[in-house]
Amino acid sequence: MGSIAEAQTEVNTYPFTLTEEQEQLREAIRKFAAKEIAPNVARWDEASEFPTDVVRQLGEMGLLGIIFPAEYGGSGLGYVEYVLAIEELSAVDGSIGIIVAAHTSLCSNHIFLAGNEEQRRKYIPKLASGEWLGSWALTEPGSGSDASAARTTATKVDGGWRLNGTKTFITNGGHADVVVVIAVTDREKGTHGLSAFVVERGTPGFRAGKKENKLGLRASDTSELIFEDCVVPEENLVGKLGEGFIDAMRILDGGRISIAALSLGIARGALDASLHYVKERRQFGKAIAEFQGIQWKLADMATELDAARLLTQRAGVLKDAGRKVTRESSMAKLYASEVAVRICDEAVQLHGGYGFLKDFPAEKFYRDVKLCTIGEGTSEIQRMVIAREILKVSPSRG
376 is catalytic: yes
Closest Cα partner for 332 from 245, 247, 216, 254?
254
Choosing from 87, 88, 338, 376, which is the catalytic residue?
376
Catalytic (active-site) positions: 376
